[in-house]
Amino acid sequence: MTHVEIRDKAAISDVAKSSNLAIIDFYADWCGPCKQLATFLYDEIAKVSGDRVVLYKANVDTLDISDITIGGKKTNIMSLPTVIFAKNGVVLDVVVGANRNVIKQNIDKYK
């Protein structure tokens, strides 16, 4: 799995257009569940996903997350962590919280 840090709000819409599954992880350095989820994404998911999945990290403390749109739909990031699954410009699912089982199921479903 490839990991890319998003540093520009406009890049979020672009990465969601990928033909590979884009997992956009909205996090903050001070967020405990975000840190636990990061470990899971890197260590566990990277082992099984190969090149079909690209992980994008978006730090909400350094990135303006207001008015983010993906596929013409506004995303409302209200809680952390929030993980958006997107492919070909379409939001496939949004997971709020560090629910490892749901995230793993979504990766298996959409990869």
Active site residues: 31, 34
CA 27 to chain centre: 9
Residues in CB range of 23: below 8 A, 6 or more apart: 41, 53, 54, 55, 56, 83, 84, 85, 107
**What does the alpha-carbon distance between residue 21 and residue 28 come to, in Å, rounded to a whole number?**
22
Q: How many helices (H) and strands (E) does the chain have?
A: 4, 7
Residues in CB range of 20: below 8 A, 6 or more apart: 51, 52, 53, 54, 87
